[in-house]
Structures are given as C-alpha cells and as structure tokens.
Amino acid sequence: MQTIDVHAHMTPQVLLRAKRDGRQLHGIEPEAIARGQGLDIGPERRIADMDRLGVDAQVVSAEPQMYCYQYDVEPAAAIHRECNDEVHQLAVDRPDRFMGLAIVPMQDVSAAIDEMDRAVVGLGMQGVMIGDHVNGRSYDEPSFRPFWTAAEAMGAVVFLHQASPTLISSRLTRYHLPNTIGNPLERTLSFAALVFGGVMDRCPDLKVVLGHGGGYTCFAAGRLDWGWQWRPEAREHIARPPSTYLSSFYFDCITHSGPALRFVIDTVGIDRVLFGTDYPGFAAGVEGASYQPREWLLGLENLSEAEKTAILGANLERVLGIELAQGTHD
C-alpha cells in the first residue's frame, strides 16, 4: 500500500542561515518572515521521520510563512527561487522519496507565472503552493485570471494553504482560534472565490487541492447552494449550484476526525481525497510524538480497505501521473 504525503513542509536553509548569520534575506529581516516558526530538519532526519510515520514519499513545500506576499516582488521572487531550488534538490537527491511544490510571488501575477513555469516546466516540480488570498485580494479578481490559465495549461497542482495570521478579528485572538477556526474558514473562502467567481468554469482542468480537508467547505455546501438559489449576486458568474463543483477539487484528509473525513468522502467522492500529514509540526514528534496520521487513517473502521488505499497513495499517483515503487509499509 503506497503512502504519499501531499501536505509536507520544509523550513528552507536560506532562511535558517540568514537567522544564524544575523543578516537580511534579500533586504528583509528573517525574523519578519518567520518569527518563531521553523525546524532545521535535514534530509536524513526527514527520511527517518517518514519511515517512522510509514510515509513512502513526500510532496514537499516550503513553509507558508515564506510566501512574502506583503513585500516587494523583487526580494520575494528571489527568496522563492532559492526556496524552490532547495525543494527541487531534495527530489533530485532522493527521487524515490521526494517531489516538490514551488512557492511563487502572487503579489505580481506575471512574476508568479514566470516562477511557476521555471519550477514546473523547467525543474519538473509537481505544482505550486499558494495562500488563500494575496494581501486581502481573492483569486476571483480578474487580475489573477492569467495565473489560473497558466496553471491549467502546465498541468500544475495548486495547493491552497494559509499563512499566519489568518482572518484578522478581535474574536480570533484567543485559544489558538486563528489556527483552529481561522485556518478552515480561509479554505472555505478560497473554495467560494474560485467557484462563485467563475474560475473553475473558465479553467475546468485545474488541479486544486484544498488543505486541511477543505475547511468547512463540505459542511457549508448546502447553505452555499441555498444562497445561489435565492440571491442573484451569487449567480452572477455561475449557472449551476456551488455543490456541483466539489468534485472539481481535491481535499487532503487532515480533518482530525473520522466522522468528518467520512463526510468529506461521501460529499466529494473517494477519488478526490488525498493523504496528508502537515509534516513537520506534530507529525515530526516535536509536539506530541503520538500523532501517527497513517496509523490513524488505517484504524478508521468507517473506511473500507479500498478507500484507505485510494487515499494513502493511489489517488495522488493518478493526479500526478506517476507510479512509485511498491511501498515498504504494507
């Protein structure tokens, strides 16, 4: 049973070295990019963690704090190139264990397309990881249309993942709520923007992955349909109910709840659900070594063996058009 992790991050050495040396990173203070985040995990430690977690391969992306959307495009693009080169080198050194997603400077669509082209077409990376918005701008805005057209043409996976902070609100300042509530809500807003804004109609072959189970998207689908039925502004760009677009997206399995994952599968179809761990975080054993995402999934009694196989690797192999060697964690 092949196990491929679509949701795995890396703190790039370019950031860690700048922190250690006390120097700026292309004119930006490294602490301003990622204050407390980041773990210095080399390839050997990463592979050891993967073996412990029963993961055959990771699709690696830089940590989302590296998006740098709030900065000028020139330093952000330079940082992204260095991050992407590091991720790519992992895959070059161990193609049996690693693939990669690039980060791109979404504050400048032309520059984002150029880096996506360099990474996906030039380096052979699998796609890109982007935030849920760009300095408050949603992806249904016309200025982003060339990006989505280019991503579709390249066959690039586009993985949507938030960066801290999530939604700014005085009601989301306590109890870790910016993560536990703000994170899923961001993903739901991304789904709504891409669907209600007509992006998925214009680019029907997009491969969009919604991290963290798509947030509240599946649970909210009925109410989104209700709004589409009753409000003309919800029908401005689309001619069919929002719920009919659920099967156009992919969702990772990180729901932290067996019944919730079952609901996602029943809502979007088993072929749209992918395995993810959110490595390193809890999965690295740094904060709670008992977290075993693969073992959790295998232990769910409300999933069939065929469904577990599909989620653990078969679905992502199909999406990426690859076939890895048989896993060693059967």
SS (H, E, C) 193-242: HHHHCCHHHHCCCCEEEECHHHCCHHHHHHHHHHHHHHCHHHHCCCCCCH
Q: Which residues pair with 252 in a beta bridge?
A: 274
Largest CA distance in the chain: 58
pLDDT in tens, 171-212: 777 888 888 888 899 999 999 999 999 999 999 999 999 999
**The pLDDT of residue 179:** 83
Structure tokens at 301: 């009694």
The mean pLDDT of 112-135, rounded to a whole number, is 97
Tell me whether residue 88 is in a domain.
yes
**The pLDDT of residue 329:** 53
3-state SS, residue 260: helix
Residue type for 238, please?
Answer: I
Structure tokens at 227: 């709004």
Percent of the chain past pLDDT 70, that is, above it, reads: 92
Tell me whether residue 241 is in a domain.
yes
Query: What's this model's pTM, rounded to 2 decimal places?
Result: 0.94
Q: pLDDT averaged over the chain?
A: 92
Tell me whether residue 119 is in a domain.
yes
Q: How many whole angstroms separate alpha carbon 301 and alpha carbon 303? A: 6
Question: What is the extent of the structural domain holding 223?
Answer: 4-320
Contact (Cβ atoms closer than 8 angstroms) between residue 187 and residue 160: yes
Q: How many whole angstroms separate alpha carbon 277 and alpha carbon 55? A: 9
Do strands 57-62 and 273-274 pair parallel, antiparallel, or not at all (unpaired)? unpaired
**The pLDDT of residue 296:** 95
pLDDT band at 289 (very low <50, low <70, confident <90, very high): low
**The pLDDT of residue 169:** 66
Q: How many whole angstroms separate alpha carbon 31 and alpha carbon 48? A: 29
Structure tokens at 262: 């079952």
Q: How many whole angstroms separate alpha carbon 61 and alpha carbon 127? A: 10
> In this structure, how many other beta carbons lie within 10 angstroms of the beta carbon of residue 109?
20
Tell me whether residue 328 is in a domain.
no
**The pLDDT of residue 72:** 97
Residue 219 or residue 40, greater confidence? 219
**The pLDDT of residue 245:** 98
Phi, then psi, of 148 in degrees rounded to 5:
-65, -35
Tell me whether residue 265 is in a domain.
yes
| Pick from 14-18, 25-29, 64-68, 326-330: least confident | 326-330
Contact (Cβ atoms closer than 8 angstroms) between residue 315 and residue 274: yes
Tell me whether residue 326 is in a domain.
no
**The pLDDT of residue 174:** 82
**The pLDDT of residue 212:** 96
**The pLDDT of residue 39:** 77
Contact (Cβ atoms closer than 8 angstroms) between residue 80 and residue 28: no
| Pick from 162-176, 267-281, 298-312: least confident | 162-176
Kindly provide the b/e burial profile for residues 250-275, where b requires at least 16 CB atoms within 10 angstroms of the residue's own CB.
bbbbbbeeeeebeebbebbebbbbbb
**The pLDDT of residue 154:** 97
Q: How many whole angstroms separate alpha carbon 320 and alpha carbon 209? A: 12
Helices (H), 34-181: 43-53, 73-93, 109-116, 145-154, 177-180
Structure tokens at 46: 């990463």
Return the axis-axis angle of helices 258-268 and 217-230, rounded to nearest 10°.
40
Tell me whether residue 330 is in a domain.
no
**The pLDDT of residue 66:** 94
Q: How many whole angstroms separate alpha carbon 101 and alpha carbon 83? A: 10
Question: Which CATH number belongs to the domain containing residue 109 in this structure?
Answer: 3.20.20.140
The yes-or-no verdict on residue 146 having pLDDT over 90 is yes
**The pLDDT of residue 283:** 56
pLDDT in tens, 62-121: 999 999 999 999 999 999 999 999 999 999 999 999 999 999 999 999 999 999 999 999
| Pick from 34-38, 93-97, 110-114, 147-151: least confident | 34-38
The yes-or-no verdict on residue 324 having pLDDT over 80 is no
**The pLDDT of residue 282:** 63
Kindly provide the b/e burial profile for residues 210-248, where b requires at least 16 CB atoms within 10 angstroms of the residue's own CB.
bbbbbbbbbbbbeebbebbeeeeebeeebeebbbebbeb
Closest CA to 50 of 116, 109, 98: 98
Tell me whether residue 42 is in a domain.
yes
Structure tokens at 328: 């060693």
Q: How many whole angstroms separate alpha carbon 100 and alpha carbon 320? A: 11
Contact (Cβ atoms closer than 8 angstroms) between residue 321 and residue 4: no
Domain count for the chain? 1
**The pLDDT of residue 281:** 77
